[in-house]
Amino acid sequence: MLGFGRQRPWLTLVVAFCVLLVVDLVLKLLGTELFVFGTKALGGSLAPAALTAFVLDGVIVGMAVGLAAVGLSMTYSILNFANFAHGDYITGGAFVGWTAAYLVVSGGADLTTRFLLSSNLGLTVLGTPIATVVGLIAAAAGTIVLTLVLDRLVYRPMRDADGISLLIASIGVALVLRYLIAFVWQTGKHGVTAGPTKITALGIITRTSHEWTLLVVGGVLMVGVHVLLQFTKLGTAMRAMADNKDLARVSGIPVERVTRMTWIVGGGLTGVAGYLLVLEGGTIVFNFGWTLLLLIFSAVILGGIGSIYGAMAGGLCIGIVDKLALIWLPSDLTRAAVFAVLIVVLLVRPEGLFGGVKTA
């Protein structure tokens, strides 16, 4: 199977198709059309501004997916299993965060309404900054508590079990979590934000305040993860554990403590990702994390399983492909484009973009 992707015909086909897309894109940007046998084959019209808008849309979505993917990849590489409950950690964190924001914000709603998010209080970053920030912190803290409690109850007692057993256990955790959330907050969609203000930066890029928030917070956290991993003792120990857990233990690295820290960092990022996705999208529903999980797993796999930088890059890639595909495909089909790219990458480079380098 491994040699499959290295066979010429595949690679040639993929390269040819990519070249075709690029040519088409250039023609579209130039506003020219190319006719073959009297039918339009290539080209069309696409304003350069539209292209940048697509890319930026992609970066915004990709940032959130990437953040969530980092959390998933960290637990994958250091604890050695694919956590299928990760999507529901995202949902859980988002609900905790938004409930906290609702409890803090001033307004005429009663406590039950606030707690159950049952009417849209129209939060915005600029209109209700304190509630938004409190919610963000609560989302991180809530997800951290959630991951630690679940680790203690479910994963720690089976720490030495194989990856498949842990994976199956995590599916159980996912279901329990999802329907607990549905039990408390119901299965309907809750609108939580009001239309955000548009802000223009650098004189050209205009985005909503919520999209800017996602970009800035996401960017800062990704740089933060990089600094943690590369320049701190804890981060080096996390990488060491991802490399060789047995050797980490005999070197005197407190394996349980580093594991706990991994859940804390990964959980915090996951909660923030969930919270920001809702901030950007405006609505929250009990299974939104679960429906994102496939995309997040794709980001992790695209980047190379277990590679934290790969997860960031994979998330961004997937976001950008998802939005760029709109140039050629109707919006219902862009997910298909994402998975097509994933399949092609896996054929050409089965270990993923950053595969084999793990956390480094």
Tell me which residues touch other proteins (CB under 8 A).
233, 236-237, 239-240, 242-244, 246-255, 357-360
**How many angstroms separate the CA atoms of 124 and 239, rounded?**
38
* 157: Cβ contacts below 8 Å, ≥ 6 apart: none
C-beta closer to other proteins: residue 45 or 232: 232
C-beta closer to other proteins: residue 93 or 306: 306
C-beta closer to other proteins: residue 126 or 158: 158
Name residue 1's amino acid: M
CB of 281 to other proteins, least distance (A): 36
Q: What DSSP state is assigned to residue 41?
A: E
CB of 240 to other proteins, least distance (A): 5
Reduced to 3 states (helix: H, G, I; strand: E, B; else coil), residue 193 is strand
**Type and span of the H or E element at 286:** none
Convert 94-127 to b/e letters by CB count within 10 Å (16 or more is b).
bbbbbbbbbebbeeebeeeebeebbbebebbbee
Residues 287 and 338: beta-carbon distance below 8 Å: no
CB of 244 to other proteins, least distance (A): 5
**How many angstroms separate the CA atoms of 54 and 322, rounded?**
9
C-beta closer to other proteins: residue 33 or 256: 256
CB of 161 to other proteins, least distance (A): 15
CB of 242 to other proteins, least distance (A): 8
C-beta closer to other proteins: residue 107 or 356: 356
**How many angstroms separate the CA atoms of 177 and 172, rounded?**
9
C-beta closer to other proteins: residue 168 or 360: 360
C-beta closer to other proteins: residue 224 or 356: 356
Q: Which residue has the tokens 């998330």?
A: 315
Residue 34 has which token pair?
A: 């190319």
**Could you tell me the CA-to-CA distances from 256 to 78, 170, 238 in Å, in that order?**
11, 19, 11
CB of 243 to other proteins, least distance (A): 4
CB of 255 to other proteins, least distance (A): 8
Residues 135 and 98: beta-carbon distance below 8 Å: yes
Residue 227: CB atoms within 10 A of its CB come to 11
Residue 256: CB atoms within 10 A of its CB come to 10
E strands, the chain, are: 33-36, 39-43, 190-191, 198-201, 205-208, 283-284
C-beta closer to other proteins: residue 154 or 240: 240
C-beta closer to other proteins: residue 206 or 232: 232
CB of 358 to other proteins, least distance (A): 5
Cross-strand partners of 201:
205
CB of 351 to other proteins, least distance (A): 14
